[in-house]
A and B are shown apart, each in its own frame.
Chain A
Amino acid sequence: MTPLRRDVVVTLILVVLAATVPYLTSTRYIVTQTTLFFIWAIVVTQWNLVLGVAGIFSLAQMALFAAGAYTTAMLGYYWGVPIALAMLAAAIIVVILSVIIGLACLRLRGPYVALLTLAIAQMLYLLIVNDTDCFTNPPSGCMPLFGGVRGISRFGDLGFRALLGSKWYIAHYYLGLVLLALAIIVSIVIIRGPLGLAFQALRDNPGYAMSRGISRFKYQLWVFAVSAFFTGLAGGFYAAQFAVVGPTVFSLSQLLLLLSMMVVGGLGRIWGPVLGALLLMLADEGVRELGDWRDIGLGLILILFVVLFRRGLTGAFEDLWRRLRPGKPLTAPGS
Chain B
Amino acid sequence: MDVVIQIIASGLTLGAMYAVSTVGLSLVYGSLNMLNMAHGALLALGGYICFYTMTALGMPAIVGVLAAVAVCGLVGLLIYICTAAPMLGSAQFETGVFIATIGFGAIVENVILRMFGPQPQPQSLQIPGDIVIGHVHIPNQNVMILTVALVLMVAMALLLKRSRLGRAIRATAQNREAAQLMGVRVGWIYAAVLALSGGLAAISGIMVSSLYSLLPNMGGDPMLKAFIICIVAGLGNVTGAVIAAIALGLLEATLQYNLGVQYSFALLLFLVIIVLIWRPYGLFGRKQVVRL
Residues of A whose CB lies within 8 Å of any CB of B are 57, 104, 107-112, 114-116, 118-120, 122-123, 126-127, 130-131, 206-207, 252-253, 255-256, 259-260, 263, 292-293, 295-296, 298-303, 306-308, 310
Contact = CB atoms under 8 A, between A and B. Distances in A.
Contact of A299 (B94, B98, B103, B276): B103
Contacts of B224: 118-119, 122
B87 A307 contact: yes
A260 B111 CA distance: 19
12 contacts: A104-B276, A104-B277, A107-B277, A111-B29, A123-B265, A126-B262, A131-B262, A252-B106, A292-B114, A298-B103, A303-B100, A306-B99
B103 A300 contact: yes
Contacts of A122: 220-221, 224, 269
A126 B265 contact: yes
B273 A111 contact: no
A295 B106 contact: yes
B266 A123 contact: yes
Pairs of residues from A and B, 6 with the lowest C-beta to C-beta distance, nearest first: A302-B103, A130-B262, A299-B107, A299-B103, A299-B106, A207-B292
Contacts of B231: 112, 115-116
Interface in B25-52: 29, 33, 35
Contacts of A303: 82-83, 100, 103-104
A116 B110 contact: no
B272 interface: yes
A218 B269 CA distance: 25
Q: Is the interface of A mostly helix, strand, loop or mixed?
A: helix
A111 B292 contact: no
Contacts of A299: 102-107, 110
B120 interface: no
Nearest to A126: B265
Nearest to A209: B292
B175 interface: no
Contacts of A119: 224, 227-228, 269, 272
A307 B86 contact: yes
Contacts, number: 122
Interface in B81-120: 82-83, 86-87, 90, 92, 94-100, 102-107, 109-111, 113-114
B166 interface: no
B102 A57 contact: no
A272 to B, nearest CB: 14
Contact of A253 (B98, B106, B227): B106
Contacts of B86: 307-308
Given A108-B280, A295-B107, 7 more contacts: A57-B94, A109-B280, A112-B280, A115-B231, A119-B272, A303-B103, A307-B83
A306 B100 contact: yes
A111 B266 contact: no
Interface in B207-249: 217, 220-221, 224, 227-228, 230-231, 235
Contacts of A300: 103, 107
A137 to B, nearest CB: 20
Contacts of B114: 292
Given A292-B114, A295-B106, A306-B96, A116 B276 contact: yes
Nearest to A302: B103
Nearest to A260: B103
Interface string B114-133: 10000000000000000000
Given A206-B292, A306-B99, A307-B86, A120 B106 contact: no
A260 B224 CA distance: 21
A315 B137 CA distance: 62
Interface string B247-274: 0000000000000011001100100110
Given A115-B228, A118-B224, A295-B110, A108 B276 contact: yes
Interface in B148-180: none
B273 A310 contact: no
Contacts of B221: 122
Contacts of A127: 262, 266
Contact of B103 (A107, A123, A207, A306): A306
